[in-house]
Amino acid sequence: MEVVGFLCLAAAILAWGFLWVWDSWERMKSQEPAGVPGDGSRTLLVIAHPDDEAMFFAPTVLGLARLRHRLSLLCFSAGNYYNQGEVRKKELLQSCDVLGIPSSSIMIIDNRDFPDDPDVQWDTERVASILLQHIDANGINLVVTFDAGGVSGHCNHVALYAAVRTLHSEGKLPNGCSVLTLQSVNVLRKYISLLDLPFSLLHTRDVLFVLTSKEVARAKRAMSCHRSQLLWFRRLYVLFSRYMRINSLHFL
């Protein structure tokens, strides 16, 4: 009898948890994220390498597209670590086409000041200066980039956060320009795919984007454009990473 009672209690808790997650998800889908600029806003995605847009930010890009944002992308390197820069530029354009970012709204910086190298720290002031020029020239309302953890801890990712943080803390961003940073999570959460949804619902302070099954397929198509990068471990990443399905973001 005690075993039966325990099993019934466990089943009731699991059912309650499932219903809570489902109800929270449905309410989240029916509401516009608080604090995110509305229809027609100009949003700039700032990445370090070609494939960051699909590997890490696809839920954000597709989620903002739902909100009818006008998306543009600024990539600070050609991803030339293995001398594949020219190939990776083309792959980025193909991926962005799948994600709905027009080629006319994409800028790729191919400069020795910003090498694709996990051991090189990009100059914060230099990154910030170029970024601010791009924001001003394009009337950007919302900037999206990495947080202090850089998702993977890559030095180039972290450099982008440092630059945006500097602009924000020094009050140099234009009035009405907000910044969203992609939340880094621990390794366990990173690779449990949609099973991370309950944790994301509990721990996301500001904005959460969750893809539908059709949108997940679109995100995977975008990632498949980066053929030069699809080594076996990245194929596993596409299968299991939460970042192909869920993005939690925080405002600065």
- Average pLDDT for runs of 10 along the chain of length 252: 49 38 44 75 97 98 96 97 96 98 97 94 97 97 98 97 98 96 96 93 90 96 97 96 97 96
Coil, helix or strand for 14? Answer: helix
Structure tokens at 26: 């449905």
Domains annotated for the chain, with CATH where assigned, are 41-251 (3.40.50.10320)
Closest of 250, 235, 206, 179 to residue 55, by C-alpha: 235
Give the whole-angstrom CA distance, residue 35 versus residue 246: 19
Residue position matching structure tokens 């325990």: 6
pLDDT of residue 108: 98
Q: H/E/C letters for each residue in 61-98?
A: HHHHHHCCCEEEEEECCCCCCCCCHHHHHHHHHHHHHH
Strand partners, 251: 180
pLDDT of residue 33: 72
Q: Is 85 exposed, middle or buried (0-12, 13-18, 19+ CB in 10 A)?
A: middle
Contacts of 59 (CB under 8 A, 6+ apart): 209, 210, 211, 215, 219, 243, 244, 245, 246, 247
pLDDT of residue 3: 56
Say what the pTM is: 0.88
Closest of 90, 70, 71, 82 to residue 115, by C-alpha: 82
Give the whole-angstrom CA distance, residue 38 versus residue 251: 15
pLDDT of residue 25: 46
